[in-house]
Amino acid sequence: MTYLAYQVQELDGTFIGDVKTLETPALQEDHILIKVEYSSLNYKDALAASGVKGVVKQYPFTPGIDSAGTVIKTSSDDFLVGDKVILTGYKMGMSVNGGFGEIVHAPAKWAVKLPANLTLLQSMEIGTAGLTAAASVKKLEDAKISKDLPVLVSGATGGVGSVAINILNKLGYTVHALTGKTYEEEVIKSMGAVELINRDKFLEDGVKPLDKALYSAAIDTVGGDILSKMLSMVNNNGVVTSCGNVAGAKFTSSVFPFILRGISLQGIDSAESSIELKKTLWNRLANEWRVSLDGQTKQVSLGEIGPEIEKILDGKQIGRIVIKHGE
């Protein structure tokens, strides 16, 4: 049996993606074979597709860290043929061919059964980006963050930032959105942000050891100087989460936010989170944290992935990109 996949190959140092016909792999022990209905495009997928060193070690390769579909073969007692499942993270789309193919073969222990209140499409509108946002919000919840001051979210138009704003708004937090795309004010406010802050203006005074405490917490998706500044502006016993590095892998700080305000800096890595945590987050996203992302999602086919990869690398992506398979 064959299937279609968006495969990336290296030719003389250039990485080229195209739709290819591939052979379905043989089912291994404790694995499942999934007919993918939807997958989603994440920043890590764009890095893999463009040959960024260290993301994928061997080409040709099928990217896609997210996929959702139906089990068509299983060698695991945990799943039956016909089960609807979600796969996010771990080695998907990195060392195991990922969700940009119509068929995915993966260890059963990586899969989560689709919650009853969620469709396969909705699960990929959320995807790893939304799961990362949910993991960030859970850190704020665990710390019992007050709603007296706003929560600041960076990368507001990106996958993680946009879902985080939606969830925080649903939970009753006042959200301020930090963005370089202030021309998307209407879109960002429709997510639930009440105030937009221009990224360049936010940084124009530089980073101080401690700044005025304007926020109860912050969710940072970009890293660099943005993260540095956020740490200096969060109120006593607040939390800052960090999950991205598009603005820089290094940041500077002093001990003062930690010893004078008791700030906690929490790293978020939803891709390698335990399957139990993923199940918890998916169930919350299907229930009390459920948000509608219909108006913030664009659907594309396998053959339309290329231009979307370029957009996300150029920082022009707005909201979420979902790949619909079987068309």
Neighbours of 214 (CB within 10 A): 13
Question: What pLDDT sits at residue 327?
Answer: 65
Question: What pLDDT sits at residue 50?
Answer: 86
Q: Based on the fold, state whether residues 255 and 152 are members of the same structural domain.
A: yes
Question: What pLDDT sits at residue 113?
Answer: 97
Q: What's the CA gap between 14 and 314, in Å, rounded?
A: 18
Alpha helices, DSSP H, located in the chain: 43-49, 120-142, 159-170, 185-191, 199-203, 224-233, 256-259, 275-286, 305-313
What CATH number is associated with residue 66? 3.90.180.10
Neighbours of 3 (CB within 10 A): 18
The answer on pLDDT for 29 being more than 90 is yes
> What's this model's pTM, rounded to 2 decimal places?
0.90
Listed ranges 8-12, 30-34, 202-206; the one with the highest mean pLDDT: 30-34
Q: What's the CA gap between 296 and 320, in Å, rounded?
A: 6
- The rounded percent of the chain whose pLDDT value lies above 90 is 72
Domain count, the chain: 2
Of 212, 240, 244, nearest to 152 (Cα)? 240
- Between CA 77 and CA 79, with CA 78 as vertex, the angle to 5 degrees is 95
Reported as a single tens digit per residue, the pLDDT across 97-118 is 999 999 999 999 999 999 999 9
The reply to whether omega before 60 is within 30° of 0 (cis) is yes
Alpha carbon of residue 148 to chain centroid: 28
Per the domain annotation, does 308 fall within a domain? yes
Per the domain annotation, does 153 fall within a domain? yes
Q: At what angle do helices 120-142 and 159-170 cross, to 10 degrees?
A: 70
Handedness of CA 209, 216, 287, 179 (dihedral sign): negative
Q: Domain range spanning residue 257?
A: 131-270
- The rounded percent of the chain whose pLDDT value lies above 70 is 100
Q: Based on the fold, state whether residues 174 and 222 are members of the same structural domain.
A: yes
> pLDDT category, 169, cuts 50, 70, 90?
very high
Per the domain annotation, does 145 fall within a domain? yes
Per the domain annotation, does 277 fall within a domain? no
Reported as a single tens digit per residue, the pLDDT across 52-93 is 877 788 889 999 999 999 999 999 999 999 999 999 989 888
Across 130-157, average pLDDT: 94
Question: What pLDDT sits at residue 244?
Answer: 83
- Between CA 205 and CA 209, with CA 208 as vertex, the angle to 5 degrees is 175
Q: Based on the fold, state whether residues 171 and 239 are members of the same structural domain.
A: yes
Question: What pLDDT sits at residue 33?
Answer: 97
> Of 48-62, 160-174, 208-222, 295-309, which gets the smallest average pLDDT?
48-62
Summary mean pLDDT of the chain: 92
Reported as a single tens digit per residue, the pLDDT across 269-324 is 988 999 999 999 999 999 999 888 877 789 999 999 999 999 988 888 787 899 99
